Amino acid sequence: MASLLIYAAARSFGGSDDGFTSLGDNIGVIDIDGEILSAESTVDQLRKYDEDSSIKAIVLHIDSPGGAAAPSQEIYHEVLRIREKKDKPIIASIESVGASGAYYIASGASKIYANDASVVGSIGVIMEWTNYGDLLTWAKLKPEVIHAGALKDAGDPSREMTPEERVYFQGLVDNMYGQFVTDVANGRHLPASQIKALATGQVWTGQQALPLHLIDKEGGFRDALLETAKSVGISGEPSVVKPLIRHRTIWDVLSDPDDLFHNPGKVFERHAGFYFLWR
């Protein structure tokens, strides 16, 4: 999500576009789109909406294949915290994609909407990095590493993984997979065994996901918005509050040379990572 969020109100769906809302009843909307790399801005916005008495419900507008494991999990726990307070409903609306880490987040909501053709699911964990050892050999470069602890340099992308390292990393992935399954089961109020049977990493359409109890209702964002508004006593077109996103200007780019000329020394700085991500 965007790097900077300014807490400002923007009315839509027939409301004023002057950037401010009345002090009446509002629906707070948070967009979760693209790969999830950080939880900070989303969690901050969730807390602001939770504490704002003019916000009667929160809708997560999701279009994401997931992302890094820890941020996805952190956002899920914040969504679940708000849901369990029962002060206001928090709803997830999946647009094109709500997979892996994005589905993890959605499962913490009170209700999940998805379009018939939305992509839903992909409950699983992936760990990956690029092995460039052959390239270094071709270039006659040889990394030298000094470490203490047998697994301290596990995941070194300049060499092949050892059998011991493979077992070690598989154990980490399996542990995260168990957390994913448990949290989704808790969020969906389903037995863990039922979720585990679906946790093969595969995806379903929204239409297929409904009888599997992965979503609660077929419908788009507007359906989710209007029905949520009605559930909290708002009639007619709801007043929607969204965070104002500050987009980078040409001055921002020109004042940061790294945006124009990437440091060639960082080309190979890709470390092993754990992801709740659908490719």
Give, in order, the Cα–Cα distances in Å from 90 to each of 128, 133, 172, 231, 254. 33, 48, 31, 11, 40
From CA 22, how far away is CA 111, in angstroms rounded?
A: 27
Active-site residue, 255 included: no
Look-up: residue for tokens 């609306």?
93
Residue recorded with tokens 């964002």: 221
Per-residue buried b or exposed e for 202-218, using 16+ beta carbons within 10 Å of the residue's own CB: ebbbbeebbeeebbbeb
Among the listed residues 3, 16, 22, 152, the single catalytic one is 152
Contact 246, 4 (CB under 8 A): yes
Q: Which of 64, 93, 100, 110 is catalytic?
A: 100
Are β-strands 26-33 and 5-6 bridged in parallel, bridged antiparallel, or unpaired? unpaired
Torsion on CA atoms 55, 214, 13, 22, rounded to nearest 10? 0
Question: Residue 230 CB: number of other CB atoms within 10 A?
Answer: 12
Nearest C-alpha neighbor of 160 from the set 126, 127, 130, 131: 131
Here the tokens at position 228 are: 């949520």
* 266 has catalytic annotation: no
Element (H, E) at 124: none
Give Rg (Cα) of the chain: 22
Known catalytic residues?
100, 152
